[in-house]
Amino acid sequence: ALTLVAGIYQVLLGMLRLGFVSAYLSQPLLDGFAMGASVTILTSQLKHLLGVRIPRHQGLGMVVSTWLSLVRGAGQANLCDVVTSATCLAVLLAGKELSERCQRRLKVPLPTELVVIVAATMVSHFGQLHERFGSSVAGDIPTGFVAPRVPDPGLMWRVVLDAVPLALVGSAFSISLAEMFARSHGYSVRANQELLAVGCCNVLPAFFHCYVTSAALSKTLVKTATGC
């Protein structure tokens, strides 16, 4: 219900052509947004890279609290996870450097990310890293789609106000990322079209029990690196 209401708000924003507010997203603002998002993503992933179990921090000062917990738990790091993470990062950085140098010769980008995922999965499975060294694994992943269901209209009325900040923040987040990558790749962005797209990405999945969606810096960077 919350996802559907937020999506409706975003579609209405696009239909009413309120995307002009993106003109106030200056380059320094986008740069600061990208830096803050990068630090947040790095902080949230470090515990997985090191194999350290720390409490999840939220709210104001989340980044600082997480780093303090990481420092305290550094002695409990899983050596296998550290070696695996370092190896994968080294291959990814080398692949990126090679792809940039051979960009003119290659017709398609090097699928370094895909190769790393497949290779790491095979090594983890056949090497039994989880059983032998306690390395973290994704585990069983459910397959298939959840049966669609119409959101409860009664719940929709209860979350009318709660969906407003989700719709606004999600819209600003998506447009900010679109503007950032548009400047780096030399193309223009139509903010109203972005609002309609994000809204539809929330309205339709709402019938499949999905959460409110928005653009993501980490996933966008991966898609950009692979040529999408």
The tokens describing 205, both together, are: 């999945």
Question: What residue has token string 């497949």?
Answer: 118
- Distance (Å, rounded) from C-alpha 36 to C-alpha 28? 12
Query: Does the global pTM surpass 0.85?
Result: no
Mean of pLDDT values over 94-112: 78
pLDDT over 70 (residue 151): yes
Q: Count other C-beta atoms under 10 Å from residue 170's C-beta.
A: 24
> What are 164-177's pLDDT values in tens digits?
877 887 787 788 78
Q: What is the DSSP letter of 87?
A: H
pLDDT at 14: 86
- Distance (Å, rounded) from C-alpha 70 to C-alpha 6? 35
Who wins on pLDDT, 208 or 21? 208
Q: What is the DSSP letter of 151?
A: P
- Distance (Å, rounded) from C-alpha 58 to C-alpha 71? 18
pLDDT over 80 (residue 108): no
Maximum mean pLDDT: which of 48-62, 69-83, 103-117, 139-153: 69-83
pLDDT over 70 (residue 61): yes
Q: Where are the domains of the chain?
A: 79-135
- Distance (Å, rounded) from C-alpha 6 to C-alpha 212? 7
pLDDT band at 119 (very low <50, low <70, confident <90, very high): very high
pLDDT at 87: 92
pLDDT over 70 (residue 34): no
First to last CA, the chain: 31
pLDDT band at 227 (very low <50, low <70, confident <90, very high): low
The tokens describing 36, both together, are: 């803050």
pLDDT over 80 (residue 107): no
pLDDT over 80 (residue 12): yes
Enclosing H/E stretch for 172:
helix 163-185
pLDDT at 90: 92
pLDDT over 80 (residue 225): no
State the virtual CA torsion across 36, 40, 46, 47 in degrees, nearest 10: 160
Residue type, 78: N
Phi and psi (nearest 5°) for 159?
A: -110, 15
- Distance (Å, rounded) from C-alpha 126 to C-alpha 116? 15
Residue type, 165: P
